[in-house]
Structure 1
Amino acid sequence: MKTQVLLDFTTHRVVSLAFAEGHCHDFKLFKESIGGTLPEDLLLVVDLGYLGILNFHENTFIPAKRSKNHELNEEEKALNREISRIRMEIEHFNAVFKTFQIMALPYRNRRRRFDCRAELICGIINFERAMV
């Protein structure tokens, strides 16, 4: 099971969840679940798993990709560092999310209940973050 989380950086809370069964590419899950429903003024910060997202949502920060023929210059490296600093909040959320072992291990229960359980866990995390 694959879970995609949309976080609000101002409140550090979960805004939206999307799920896919089995192996699914990040960008494909984004297109199928959220796709064109995002407001244009919303700022997205994503990783390189979302190459091609600029065709769907222009207000997006995606890291510059290095290739064999194109080395990154200092400006691109600085931009990648800033994006990594912002994305660190997502990685912190993933760590908290996976402290619940049902999300860290392969899911072996009924699949139709997975989304309910993941939403409950996100609700617990949102509640804890609101209390701080």
Structure 2
Amino acid sequence: MLIIDATEQEIECPKHKGKPYYSRKKKGNTMKTEVRINDKGRIVQVSKSYPGSVHDFKVFKHQILPPQDSKVLVDSGYHGIYRDHKKSVYPYKNTKCQKITSVVKDHNTLLAKTRIKVENIIHNIQTFNILAHKYRNQRKI
């Protein structure tokens, strides 16, 4: 079983024109990195960094796909992952026309309780200043 999530790291304002690193979510220039952990809480893979404007799912597509027989737990930013990986589990969203039932709410709660491991790992990475401070080195687009 793999648990996947992406995190963003602040960077200095790029000198070139254009804004590929601007993240609307963080309201600044960032780089995005995907972290994959196993069910025991060990980091399996950390992706290379991408500009902050790149979507989480696009970062997932650029990485090596996990084995088809393994289960993958992701957040709502990875909707559409079932086309690439059949054994993926993600939370269901509420829509205007269709409200979610109590069974779906229980599914989302159980998924969130399992996915909290990757959030804690990302928090630890940022606590130990691995991805916490501003990244000041040169980057290639």
CA-CA distance at 1:102 after TM superposition: 4.5
Determine whether 1:43 maps to 2:71. yes
TM-score, with length taken from structure 1: 0.76
Instruction: Pick closer, same or farther for the CA change 1:4–1:86 going to 2, 3 Å.
Output: same
Determine whether 1:27 maps to 2:62. no
CA offsets 1:32-69 (integer angstroms, 9 cap, x no match): 112xx321111100000101000000101100111122
**Which residue number in structure 1 is paired with residue 125 of structure 2?**
97
The 2-side partners of 1:82 and 1:103 are apart by 28
Q: Which structure carries more helix by proportion?
A: 1
Give SS of 1:68's match. Answer: coil
Q: Which structure carries more strand by proportion?
A: 2
**Which residue number in structure 2 is paired with residue 122 of structure 1?**
none
CA offsets 1:71-123 (integer angstroms, 9 cap, x no match): 110010000000000011011101101013351233112448xxxxxxxxxxx
TM-score, with length taken from structure 2: 0.72
CA-CA distance at 1:17 after TM superposition: 1.2
Q: What amino acid maps onto 2:94 in structure 1?
A: R
The 1-side partners of 2:130 and 2:123 are apart by 13
The 2-side partners of 1:22 and 1:106 are apart by 14
The one of 2, 10, 13 aligned to 2:42: 13
The answer to whether the 8 A contact 2:33-2:50 is kept is: no
Q: Figure out how many residues of one structure are paired with residues of the other and give that number.
A: 109
The 2-side partners of 1:52 and 1:106 are apart by 32
Give SS of 1:107's match. Answer: coil
**Which residue number in structure 1 is paired with residue 7 of structure 2?**
none
Unaligned runs of 5+ in 2: 1-30
Quote the RMSD (CA, aligned, Å).
1.5
The answer to whether the 8 A contact 1:45-1:60 is kept is: yes
Give SS of 1:6's match. Answer: strand
Between 1 and 2, higher relative CO (CA 8 Å, sep ≥ 6) is seen in 2
Q: Sequence identity of aligned pairs in percent?
A: 34
The answer to whether the 8 A contact 1:19-1:29 is kept is: no
The 1-side partners of 2:72 and 2:130 are apart by 28
The 1-side partners of 2:114 and 2:75 are apart by 11
The 2-side partners of 1:100 and 1:55 are apart by 36
The answer to whether the 8 A contact 1:63-1:79 is kept is: yes
